[in-house]
Amino acid sequence: MIRLKNSCRTRHKKVRSFGLLLVLGALLGSCAGQRQPGIGGDGQPIRAFKDTDQGTFSVRWASIPHPIPINEPFELVLEVLGPDVNPLLEADGWMPGHGHGMVRTPRVTPLEDGSMGERRFLVKGMLFHMEGAWELRIAIAWRHEQGDTFSIQRENVVFEVEI
Amino acid sequence: MRLAASLAILTAAGGLASFGLWPNSPGPEWQALRAQFSDQQWARIIRTAELPTPNDSTNGVFHDEAAFVLGRALFYETRLSGNGEVSCASCHDPALDWSDGKALAEGLEEIDRHTPSLWNSALNRWQFWDGRADSLWSQALQPIEHPKEMGGSREEVAKLVLNDPELRALYTDAFGSAPEQMDEPNNVERVFVQVGKALAAFEGRILTPVTPFDQFVSGLQTGDPEDLAALDPLAVEGAGLFFGEARCHLCHHGPLLSDMEFHDIELPRAGAPEPARHGGVAKLLTDPFNGRGQHSDDVEAGRERLAYLNRAPHQRGEWKTPGLRNVARTAPYMHNGAYASLDEVLAHYSTLSDAPARSHSDTQRVLEPGHFSDSELQALKAFLQALSSPPPHPSLLPVNPKS
């Protein structure tokens, strides 16, 4: 397996001049900025990638709008670095202090790969209906083949968000 | 240095800074209040300011004057009911803050739900205690045909609207023309839906005028001592509790003092929890009059509203958080009318002593007994009373009240 963690891959894909992607690029900041947490020119924090629990993938995110509003729908852009598998993503919110999650099931749309070869996803239907400490829980599942059998692998990464 | 100092002040003002609001020369009244609330309480209080303007793109006539006039006539029209005696206003009486003062509603028969007030219902995300409707217009169609509420039928409603000269004229004003033929099912359904949309245009204006609390919040933003005096010290203390320690704000927040979603607040009950929101989601998704159906004027927006709904077992026993504006005048309380007074409501939140035993699978831990002292209970009540507005605007009352 190729491990691609916190490294800027050199593979450049042709990115169509697709308005959304430009916005996303701006939202997530440049690759060079990723190790230094701070605020980018667009007001979004420049985020670091975080590894999934087994270390197979690295994930980072940005919200639209930023910061995440209380009790209003928002969208997420997720970027995933990792081996060349076909990952399925699930995004969910959880309030560890309250023992409940979101009142919605968000939907994920794959976007075109980014310039570092990172996979990009748009998550619609997020809603944090209460203020307080939330966990943004991302699960990545994929099909792992061995000979003519396969299993479904699943790894998680959790980001803490205070709204 | 000066910059650092003003930054420090802005930081101290917490939430204020982010709202870009800062009194010109805050007087001693303002400063005393500022010191009384934490940054978080302050920001939460400011977030209740100003009701948004309601909108519903699935209803093409939501903002139309002619539809409002038709809707007003229909709202007070008893002939929509099976026995000609029940109108929307029988249960949602403007003189009783658009409710009925009863624990359980009574139409043709008693039903097992308490009548919610219609103040600000146009700002709800979901309608009904279980949220089984996604718009005011689709909501309005249900009581008309409910056998225990109005016991009417879409055929009879269409016949009435098209045959009664006055209603027919109002309908034509609102929708351009009225079908001549009403025996075709398509026409019947269409007129029925338009009746719902006109009722919604009327209800869309049932918005609470400014309350003492709103005046107070405005004072927090401008520093105006007169506005700041709109709440007496007991109510101010109550606001501090509500948006702080008592944690009411977790569910009752924003301009409506509601998160517009569903929770189980452990009201006393006999037996297993009712389907509540769990059933509401199922009904909403199969409602032929929902926002993504053929009668919607914006199917795309309707789809988006329903796209992310989830259905989970914990939703049994979860009811919609009601808004709290004018709550002091709308007793009894709760989906089942369980409590006759605010004192009883607050006693429940204080002790949860009447709550059903928590089952093993209950994972939610939002609600904890508040253990309020007597003076805290009085303060919370004074705050809730400060959410009372002037009565409905005369334009919302019937034009020719029947004697």
Q: Round to whole Å and give the CA distance between A45 and A7.
A: 19
- Confidence band, pLDDT 50/70/90 cuts, at residue B366: confident
- Confidence band, pLDDT 50/70/90 cuts, at residue B23: confident
Q: Which residues contact B104 (CB under 8 A, 6 or more apart)?
A: B110, B111, B112, B113, B114, B336, B337
Q: A9-13, B166-170, B389-393: which has the minimum mean pLDDT?
A: A9-13
Residue B263 pLDDT more than 90? Answer: yes
pLDDT score, position B197: 98
Is B314 in contact with A127 (Cβ distance < 8 A)? no
Q: Which residues in A lie closer than 8 A to residue B253 (C-beta atoms)?
A: 70-71, 130-131
pLDDT score, position A1: 36
Q: Is B250 on the interface with A (CB under 8 A)?
A: yes
What is the percent of chain B with per-residue pLDDT over 90, rounded to a whole number? 85
Q: Round to whole Å and give the CA distance between B84 and A105.
A: 44
Top-confidence residue, A34 or B63: B63
Range among A15-29, A30-44, A99-113, B97-111 with highest mean pLDDT value:
B97-111
Instruction: Report which of B304, B283, B392, B364 is spatially closest to residue A73, judged by C-alpha positions.
Output: B304
pLDDT score, position B401: 55
Is B364 in contact with A99 (Cβ distance < 8 A)? yes
Q: Which residues contact B43 (CB under 8 A, 6 or more apart)?
A: B14, B15, B16, B18
Q: pLDDT tens-digit profile of B118-160?
A: 999 999 999 999 999 999 999 999 999 999 999 999 999 999 9
Residue A29 pLDDT more than 80? Answer: no
Average pLDDT, chain A: 81
Q: pLDDT tens-digit profile of B291-317?
A: 999 999 999 999 999 999 999 999 999
Q: Which residues in B lie closer than 8 A to residue A70 (C-beta atoms)?
A: 47, 253-254
Q: A37-41, A117-121, B316-320: which has the minimum mean pLDDT?
A: A37-41
Q: Which residues in A lie closer than 8 A to residue B307 (C-beta atoms)?
A: 107, 124-125
Pairing of strands B262-263, A149-162: unpaired
Is B314 in contact with A131 (Cβ distance < 8 A)? no
Average pLDDT, chain B: 92
Q: Which residues in A lie closer than 8 A to residue B254 (C-beta atoms)?
A: 70-71
- ∠ CA B67-B290-B113, rounded to 5°: 90
What is the percent of chain A with per-residue pLDDT over 70, rounded to a whole number? 74
Q: Is B300 on the interface with A (CB under 8 A)?
A: no
Q: Is A67 on the interface with B (CB under 8 A)?
A: no
Instruction: Report which of B281, B323, B276 is spatially closest to residue B118, judged by C-alpha positions.
Output: B323
Q: Is B366 on the interface with A (CB under 8 A)?
A: yes
What is the percent of chain A with per-residue pLDDT over 90, rounded to a whole number? 64
- Confidence band, pLDDT 50/70/90 cuts, at residue B185: confident
Is B309 in contact with A105 (Cβ distance < 8 A)? yes
Is B250 in contact with A99 (Cβ distance < 8 A)? no
- ∠ CA A43-B304-A103, rounded to 5°: 75
Phi, psi of B94 (to 5 degrees): -60, -30
Q: Which residues in B lie closer than 8 A to residue A100 (C-beta atoms)?
A: 314, 363-364, 366
Residue B329 pLDDT more than 50? Answer: yes
Q: Tell me the Cα Rg of chain A.
A: 16
- Confidence band, pLDDT 50/70/90 cuts, at residue B359: low
Is A124 in contact with B307 (Cβ distance < 8 A)? yes
Residue A28 pLDDT more than 90? Answer: no
Range among A96-100, B176-180, B338-342 with highest mean pLDDT value:
B338-342
Q: Is A105 on the interface with B (CB under 8 A)?
A: yes
Q: How many CB atoms lie within 10 A of CB B113?
A: 17
Top-confidence residue, A39 or B275: B275
Is A103 in contact with B262 (Cβ distance < 8 A)? yes
CA distance A99 to chain B (A): 5
pLDDT score, position A38: 66
Query: Region A34-45: what's the mean pLDDT?
Result: 60
Smallest Cβ–Cβ distance between B308 and the set A97, A98, A104 belongs to A104
pLDDT score, position B186: 82
- Confidence band, pLDDT 50/70/90 cuts, at residue A16: very low
Is A124 in contact with B310 (Cβ distance < 8 A)? no
Q: pLDDT tens-digit profile of A134-157?
A: 999 999 999 999 999 999 999 999
pLDDT score, position B15: 42
Q: Is B18 on the interface with A (CB under 8 A)?
A: no
Pairing of strands A119-126, A100-101: unpaired
Question: Which residue of chain B comes nearest to A102, CA vs CA?
Answer: B310
Phi, psi of A162 (to 5 degrees): -105, 125
pTM of the model: 0.90
Residue B12 pLDDT more than 50? Answer: no
Is A103 in contact with B310 (Cβ distance < 8 A)? yes
ipTM here: 0.86
In three state form, how does the secondary structure of B309-353 look? ECCCHHHCCCEECCCCCCHHHCCCECCCCCECCHHHHHHHHHHCC
